[in-house]
Amino acid sequence: MKRTTVLVAFMVLATAALAHQDRILSVRLDGAIPELPPAYQTTRLHIAFSEGDAGALQRLTFLSSGREISFQPCLLRLVPKSSFRQLFLTGSWYHEESILPHYLTVQFRDSLSPQGLPDYPGVRFVFSLRDASLIEVTQVVPVPAENAVHLHNIRLSKDCPA
């Protein structure tokens, strides 16, 4: 009986833990993110990089739940050039929204990052799937001498880094 109780408790905890893990996502050419659940199927992510200037980010627009957000060049300049080759999307929507909104993370990874770091240097934008608001912007800065990274939360003032 104890063994069954422990097994059931483990399965419940494991299922709850899985529900809070980010899921790896993809984006199609039309901006659709096919792995999102039906409630967020109209969500779109539009990204444009320049053909010259080593692939600088020119446009980042996020649409979700009937709302849209776009960014000024002052914020887009934080994104490493040529990071279009290292675009990485994750999201989570199977958790209680009172704790954390359902969200999508768009990570622009620096293709020139040192090997062996615990995270990928670059810039992360975290968006609310519920209202397309920007939750946070984080710059992941390598500290190679310590084999570490520093997470620098970007504060915004008038939609530009403060």
Query: At CA 123, angle to CA 122 and CA 125, rounded to 5?
Result: 155
Average pLDDT, the chain: 86
Write down the domain spans for the chain. 23-161
pLDDT digits (tens, 9 = 90+) for 139-148: 999 998 888 9
pTM beyond 0.95:
no
Determine the pLDDT at residue 3: 54
Contact criterion met (CB below 8 Å) for 135 and 105: no
Determine the pLDDT at residue 20: 64
